[in-house]
Structure 1
């Protein structure tokens, strides 16, 4: 890790959100240490039939099938649909697939926009560093996140349901006794990650993007960069993980989509 100090950068965010926790706290190491549960207001209350079905599931695969069936009924999602059809219903599945190809593409902007809306954390990077609202980088991000091609089917509501299902699945099946997960991220440089504080030569506090990919497998993470970031992530910040659904998973083995912010990491070299 370079000894050169990075200039202080101020994150972009909102004082309000839909999870009832201060946005500044959500973006802090203090929140990561606390492991407080997160819930988006009104999602479980407005969808009681979904969670009744989920409670009847005997394993994660069965719960995933129930969730997929509910989403298909609610939003007309068809796994076989293609963009070439006359009308394409935007889908959380399409966004996840697009993120897997390029997290800085239009689908990535929509996902980052959802995090901004629901958790109050703005992105710090989308194609380039975003340091202020009045900038070319911010304008480009906003144009992509609000693209009408992705907002014709209540896409943020779909993502709300995905997050609540993910949190339910973590508590019920995937990691019922865990408050944190040790995850890994491969990087070639720190262009997308702001070093807030150097604690030791190999440890630092970094400001991760508001949505970021990690892997549960260190060897898999090493395929994406010469440096490996290791972080202890609270389960309440996990939006999606590879085995949550039996199909349309992220391309990387053991891949996780995680809400970012200031995070303690250790840095090792491959």
Structure 2
């Protein structure tokens, strides 16, 4: 994973409370104790605060006691998976047997969601993940199959139907994702990026206009709004496989949900792929 690099800067810095020209940003409240407008802003990204989802660590002390004993990332990953398997019944032998004559129904798993995102971030699994970000961080998605510009539009209705699908919500899937986020944050601080506030990440796009672009600051610097959950790569060459324009951002550690090296199962198919919670970012945009 790339080490932090210098922050992107510009000549004038907007206030965190200043409204942008995008249609809307999110809910007035969230579960991380930081105002949503500030959480979504470039100001937060450049001077981030640690984030904690309310109650997760307090209600799962056994997990973090196990993690404290881990001497390396592999031991930590095994402890996390053992805890998740025990708590949510993810092992095959722990799945409930169906009644006679009924098909077997598997319990929903965060691993299946991450794997589904890797195949299609606009699929049903992607909707559930975006819905979790909306629920916990207060940030609305800006894209799901097509741009989402207002609530009650057909595209918004389709997103809501997919994010609430009962086949994904039969096993406390939001609680699973809460623990995944908290474990990811713990692992980044402990093993993967100790002392760092940012990671240098890359995203390949075919057209910069795929995102809401608020400002072009010269020398390839832009201010734009990312979807509430977006894929990046820690490898610039890999990002170049997905578009001829490379966005380089300084992503706050606090906005990382998942990266491939976190678990040995590698549910994401892309090398160096990282799931980043969105909002407004300053980025360097360079054509290959």
Same fold (TM over 0.5): yes
| The structure with more radius of gyration | 2
Q: Distance in 2 between matches of 1:142 and 1:155?
A: 16
Corresponding residue for residue 65 of structure 1: 78
Unmatched runs of 5 consecutive residues or more in structure 2? 1-19, 96-101
Q: Residues 167, 232 of structure 1: CA spacing in aligned structure 2 closer, same or farther, 3 A cutoff?
A: same
Corresponding residue for residue 123 of structure 1: 141
What secondary structure does 1:205 align onto?
Answer: strand
Contact 2:197–2:252 (CA<8 Å) still a contact in 1? yes
Match of 1:14 among 23, 27, 46: 27
Runs of 4+ aligned residues of structure 1 deviating over 6 Å after TM superposition are none
Contact 1:93–1:248 (CA<8 Å) still a contact in 2? no
Q: Residues 151, 71 of structure 1: CA spacing in aligned structure 2 closer, same or farther, 3 A cutoff?
A: same
Name which of structure 1's ranges 208-217 and 194-203 shifts more when overlaid on structure 2.
Answer: 194-203
Q: TM-score, normalised by structure 1?
A: 0.94
1:226, distance to aligned residue in structure 2 (A):
0.8
Matched, 1:111 2:129: yes
Contact 1:16–1:23 (CA<8 Å) still a contact in 2? yes
Count the aligned residue pairs: 262
What secondary structure does 1:123 align onto?
Answer: coil
Corresponding residue for residue 217 of structure 1: 235
Corresponding residue for residue 168 of structure 1: 186
1:192, distance to aligned residue in structure 2 (A):
3.6
1:190, distance to aligned residue in structure 2 (A):
3.4
What secondary structure does 1:107 align onto?
Answer: helix
Corresponding residue for residue 44 of structure 1: 57
1:191, distance to aligned residue in structure 2 (A):
5.0
Contact 1:97–1:249 (CA<8 Å) still a contact in 2? yes
Q: TM-score, normalised by structure 2?
A: 0.88
1:75, distance to aligned residue in structure 2 (A):
0.3
User: RMSD between aligned alpha carbons?
Assistant: 1.6
Corresponding residue for residue 172 of structure 2: 154
Alignment of 1:184-203 (within 5 A): 184-203=202-221
Corresponding residue for residue 259 of structure 1: 277
Corresponding residue for residue 26 of structure 1: 39
Corresponding residue for residue 3 of structure 1: none
Deviations 1:96-118 (A, max 9, x none): 00000000000000000000000
Q: Residues 85, 203 of structure 1: CA spacing in aligned structure 2 closer, same or farther, 3 A cutoff?
A: farther
